[in-house]
Amino acid sequence: MSPKIIVITGASSGIGAELARQLGAQGHRLVLAARNAEALRTVAAECQGLAVTTDVTVRAQVVALRDAALKAHGRVDVWVNNAGQGISRGVLELTDEDIDAMMAVNVKSALYGMQAIVPHFQGRNEGHLINVSSFLARVPMASIRSAYNAAKSALNALTANLRMDLGASHPGVHVSVVMPGIVSTPFAANARGAAPGAGPSAPPAPSQTPQEVAAAIVALIAAPKGELITNPALVAVGQRYIADVDAFEAGMRQGHGARP
């Protein structure tokens, strides 16, 4: 894969930081964004990237991130909307503030990124937008995530609709959604609200490391496609859910992990 100019949000830790390390090791030129300036600078130093402290819930700051990338490199080839935050509340416990926060950090931030960078891609008829979502957007394996799952479902829908629009008018622009399952990161500890007692009692697939998820995204950049479930074991899980929702959910409630 030839060197690319790649912007990654949420790059100070977890999947975003590991993705930066792997892409930096391959010689790509990176522009990294996150709110935690100190942690972001550390990651950027590891991969010779440009650190741009950014609150992606503020549209003007996302536009400034794009402008910083264009000023530094003259173009952007790949934009990864990776920033996000979870929640640890069931549906009946959600407040207005919870919903607003989940939509701001998981949907509106990505929308700002899409609206900032896609016109640049359209002008070149070239580029790759990647939105990092979650398998929980498709299958309710952890209902404690409620509003997070709903927000990521909205992100999936926005991504698919944008892909349909651009596929007709700008076939050189790729739009992808990435859906990791359970990943061993500080995500749960950083979730909004009280920490959950546990995830699924019998998860239908083993967790992945940030390194595994990042490697899957690196492969996606090399060979773009519309949708990527990073854990291959979850592909069949999603198919079982669609085939018989009632049976799948009954299995999850009984602690069977929805296995046949």
Residues with catalytic function: 148
Cα angle: 142, vertex 212, 225; to 5 degrees: 85
Q: How far apart are CA 67 and CA 75, in angstroms?
A: 10
Could you tell me if 214 and 183 are in contact, meaning their C-beta atoms sit under 8 angstroms apart? no
Pick from 235, 239, 181: which is nearest to 207 by CA? 181
78-81 and 5-9 beta bridge pairing: parallel
Strands in 29-34's sheet, in edge-to-edge order, are 50-53, 29-34, 5-9, 78-81, 127-132, 173-179, 227-229
Q: How far apart are CA 23 and CA 40, in angstroms?
A: 15
Could you tell me if 52 and 74 are in contact, meaning their C-beta atoms sit under 8 angstroms apart? no
Pick from 169, 162, 67: which is nearest to 123 by CA? 169
As a 3-state breakdown, the chain gives helix, strand, coil percent values, each rounded to 5, of: 50, 15, 35
Could you tell me if 175 and 129 are in contact, meaning their C-beta atoms sit under 8 angstroms apart? yes
78-81 and 227-229 beta bridge pairing: unpaired
